[in-house]
Each structure stands twice: as structure tokens, then as C-alpha cells.
Structure 1
Amino acid sequence: MKVFGAVLGALREAHGTTQEELGRYAGYSKSMVAKIEYGERLASPDFIARAEELLEARGALLAAAPHLRWTRLPAWFGEYARLEQEAVSLWTFNTHVVHGLVQTEDYARAVLGAYVPVLEEDELERQVRTRLDRQVLLTRRPAVSLSLVVEEWVLRRPVGGKAVSRAQLERLLELAGMRNVSIQLMPTHYETHAGFDGPFTLLETPERQWVAYVEGQATGSVIDDQKKVSEFQTRYGMIRTQALAPKDSVRLIEELIRAS
């Protein structure tokens, strides 16, 4: 991102355009343009196209764009990835594997290594690195407010083997101690709960707009229809109410670690 931001800043100054003027033309705030130039935020394809046009960049920004992390992600995931990097709040319900934002490197490698058709070794490592790069969201300033609800059985599956799954549990325990992270487990013995439709994510943008994201087999959809988003928010609220409280969830994670 810093490579792209430096190129953007140099072109803008050479053109004699202010950050405010570029932001107005591209539909961004001045502060957002500044963050893109500082390498703190991702630029969308639409922003790049508008900046190219206004600054008469002659393809220079397009040439720098491959240095952005979202260009290394599947096309269907790119829109969500850009929103994720700018998120103020992120709430997620996980039913299959631990969310990518909190996976350890070995856990991520085990998950991505199970993909069929099998990934080539260099592609596997590239995807692992890209997944880990996304985790800057947790420690940037300001850090995202992250809420995770995870099905208990997800943590009982020894993904990557006992040592890898134990390290993942320890990572979750570490994250649970962060002020901006809340982790809750949905006990396996519960007969019913509000999350039977599957995993999903809710995301709050810097403009305080909420969107939902649902992912399936080789596809993902960002949902911004506010009526549908409201339904997801209501569902997530019920899921959080039904799941174990954060302190009880920490105790259960500790029990799983001792048993591993």
C-alpha cells in the first residue's frame, strides 16, 4: 500500500492538485485520501480510475496498483477485503473454521492446504501471507472493534494436528485479553440457536454504514441493502445473547487447551 500511496502523492503534487480536490473528484474525504497516500488505507478500483483521470497519470497508478494487497485476493473477495481494511467494527459468526483475521500462520496453512483442487506450493504460501497481512486490522490505530462468535465444535477439530490446534486456541486466548476484541463460544450441546443459516460477517465503515458479507463455495457477497443488513444485525444480536459470555468462553478455551 505504501508503494501505491507514494506514487499517488507524487503524481498529485506534480499535477498541482490538493488532497481535498482529489477526494472531492473521487468521492472520498480529504482524510481518506491522506490515509491512502500514507499507506494506511486501500484504494478501490473506482478511486484508482478517477485519480488516473484527474491527475492524467497515463497508467502510472494502474501500474502501481498490483502492489495493493486486494489485487492478490480472489475477485469475488476483493470488495469485502477493501471494506475490511477500513472497518471501524467487525462482527462475525463462524461455524466451519476460525475466522481468517485471527488464524495463526500454521492454522491458515492447514486450512488453505486442504483446498481442492490442490494449490501449488507457491500459491499456497502467497495466500497464507495475504491472510496474515489482513490481520494488521487488529493492531492498527485506531484498531477495529472485533466481535467473534464461534461454534464450540470449530475449536474441537484438530486442524493441522494437535500442536497447531493448541497454538490456535492459545492465540484466541491472547486475543480475548485485548480491549478491542470479544470472543464468545456457542456450546455444542445447545439444541438450537439463531445461527442455523450459517456463517456471516457484519462490518461498519468509517462513514458509520453497516454492510453484511456472506461467503460460500468459491463465492462471496457484500450486502448493503439496509433492510437485509438490519435482519443480519438482529440475528447477530440474538446469537451473541445465546452464546456463552466472554468470560465463560475464555474458561472453556482454557479447558480445551488443558485437554489438548
Structure 2
Amino acid sequence: MNEAVDEAGWDVEPGDEIEPLVQAVGKLLKVCREAAGMRVAELGEVLGYGEDMIRKMERGARIPRPEYLDRADQVLNAQGHLRAFTKDMERARYPKKVRELAQLEERAVEMLLYSNHNVHGLLQTPEYARALFEMRQPALSADVIERECAALMARKSVFERDPAPDLSFVQEQVTLERPLGGKMVLRRQLEHLLEMAKLRNVSLQVMPTDREEHAGTQGLIEVLKFADGTAIGRSEGAFNGRPVSSPRDLRVLELRYGMIRAQALPPRESQTFIEQVLGRL
């Protein structure tokens, strides 16, 4: 059994609201296979997947990858009935908390994002993201790391939206200098930041370590604003870290973020700073 077999999908999280849909897709997979007159072993041989994996998907215990549905649709002559669920299964593969965040990001027209420990997830390269997940304690399994990395990279579709949302990032200086994953990983991460900073809808600023006044000492801040005038935000150091949506609470976060932006280096100076860090590696 090759590596592709193990990556056919991920187990369904118990109690996840997506579970009924995954089970329905599994039943459809079985119906299409039986209608094509194929046994599990035969389908597995054609597609390159183990029998146990296919049975798990058919009973809804395993989330099939979109590419698996696409290939099965062709082999079983399902006339697009399996392929129709590729986007649903793409979303279902990711942890519930990530799906919920991605849905909010897909709706947002403006994002205010301050990060103080690591480069913000939307700006991370795959190598940098993997290094962070591999450092988690207790250690995450290889399967969980793959799932988390894939979910994080999928969120980057926010940059491909049209019209694109306005994105404001403020990064602590230390997040640009700490070589998490090694110097080569950091080098590629800094190069990626410079590429992202060139986008017209992206503002990237650096908060220098030598600032004597800092409005972000209470931790990260995220505020997402939507087209209907509503918003949602959270901060490690406010409201017990819970998401808030009331105008009064949001005003606190926006005020704090506004001060952080004012205290940080302007975008052009921030790019120069990143280039200097890159030059020292």
C-alpha cells in the first residue's frame, strides 16, 4: 500500500455537524460502485487505494479527498454525481474550528490582524506552517499535521477573491527574526512577505522591538469586518479571549489596533526592514 493510500482522506471528527453529509457521500460511493458491478477490491486496484480505506469512506467514517471523488466518478461512470460533492468534501476535511474561521474570512471585506508570536497564518509559507505544527507539544500525529497544514493553505484563497478584501497586517519584529524551522525556511518566509506586501489590497507593517510604547502588549488582535456593516473580533488580552461582535467591544479592539498601526513602522519602511533582515541571513 503506497503513501497515496494513507492520504485518501481523514477520519470524521465525532459530533461534527459535517458527519451526516460525509455519511451520505459514503452511501453514494457504495451505490455507484455496486451499480457499476465492481467489488471493493476491484475498485481499490483500479484507483490504487486499500480495501479498508474504501470501506471506511463508504460507511462515512473517512472523509474522501476531492481527487478521489473525481477519479471514482470517472471509473464508476457516475455522471458527475460524485464529482458534485468535491467542494463539500474539501471543506469537510479541515478541522471544525478552521472551517468556521475560513467561512468568516471568505465573507470579510476588511481584516485587521496583529501577530506577536509567529507570522500570521494567512501569510505563512507551507514550510513555515509545517515547522510550527511540528513544534507543538504534546506532539501532533503526522496525520493531524497534514490536515492542519492543508487547512491553513486552503484559507489563502482569500487572496484570490474578486473584489479582494482589504488586509492590514502588523507583525512583531521577533516574528521576522526567529529562524523557526531553520534559516532557509525563514528566508523563504521573508521573501514571501515581501511578495505579499506588493499586493494593492495588503498593508504589512513591522512593530520594532525598541518601541518604548506599545498598545499590543496584551497579545494578538483580529478584527474581521463584513459587507453588511457587522464585524467580529478577538484578542488574547480582552474579553477572556472570546470572539466579540458588539459595537462597544469591537471599538475597544479597533482602538487598540489603530494605536498599534500608528506605533509600527509605515509599510514602505517595513518592507525595507524585512529586506535588511533577509540580507543578514
Cα deviation, 1:45-99, whole Å, max 9, x if unaligned, reads xxxxxxxxxxxxxxxxxx9996252662244x54433211211111100000011
Does residue 177 in structure 1 map to residue 198 in structure 2?
A: yes
Which secondary structure does the structure 2 equivalent of 1:203 belong to? strand
The one-letter code sitting in structure 1 at the alignment partner of 2:187 is: R
Q: Which residue, 204, 216, 224 being the options, matches 1:195?
A: 216
Greater displacement, 84-93 / 103-112: 84-93
Structure 2 counterpart of 1:140 = 161
Q: Is the 8 A contact 2:219 2:236 kept in 1?
A: no
Aligned residues: 197
- What TM-score results when the alignment is normalised by the length of structure 2? 0.65
Residues 88-237 of structure 1: matches in 2 within 5 Å? Answer: 88-214=109-235, 221-237=242-258
Q: Is the 8 A contact 2:197 2:271 kept in 1?
A: yes
- What TM-score results when the alignment is normalised by the length of structure 1? 0.70
Q: Which residue, 244, 253, 259 being the options, matches 1:238?
A: 259
Structure 2 counterpart of 1:252 = 273
Q: Which residue, 71, 95, 98 being the options, matches 1:73?
A: 95
Report the CA distance shift for 1:108/1:211 in structure 2 as closer, same or farther (over 3 A): same
Once residues 71 and 209 of structure 1 are traced to their aligned partners in structure 2, the CA distance between those partners, rounded to angstroms, is 29
Q: Is the 8 A contact 1:65 1:71 kept in 2?
A: no
Runs of 4+ in 1 over 6 A off after TM superposition: none
Which blocks of at least 5 consecutive residues in structure 2 are unaligned? 1-20, 25-84
Q: Is the 8 A contact 2:218 2:236 kept in 1?
A: no
More relative contact order in 1 or in 2 (CA 8 Å, sep 6+)?
1
Q: Is the 8 A contact 1:79 1:222 kept in 2?
A: no
Report the CA distance shift for 1:232/1:129 in structure 2 as closer, same or farther (over 3 A): same
Structure 2 counterpart of 1:84 = 105
Once residues 74 and 220 of structure 1 are traced to their aligned partners in structure 2, the CA distance between those partners, rounded to angstroms, is 18
The CA deviation at 1:165 is 0.4
Cα deviation, 1:158-211, whole Å, max 9, x if unaligned, reads 011000001000000001111010000000111221111110101011212122
Cα deviation, 1:91-136, whole Å, max 9, x if unaligned, reads 1000000111110000000011111121111221111011000001
Report the CA distance shift for 1:181/1:70 in structure 2 as closer, same or farther (over 3 A): farther
Which secondary structure does the structure 2 equivalent of 1:91 belong to? strand
Query: Who wins on radius of gyration, i.e. which is larger?
Result: 2
Q: Is the 8 A contact 1:146 1:180 kept in 2?
A: yes
Once residues 107 and 133 of structure 1 are traced to their aligned partners in structure 2, the CA distance between those partners, rounded to angstroms, is 15
Once residues 214 and 163 of structure 1 are traced to their aligned partners in structure 2, the CA distance between those partners, rounded to angstroms, is 31
- Percent identical among aligned pairs is 39
Q: Is the 8 A contact 1:80 1:213 kept in 2?
A: no
Which blocks of at least 5 consecutive residues in structure 1 are unaligned? 8-62
Q: Is the 8 A contact 2:235 2:253 kept in 1?
A: no
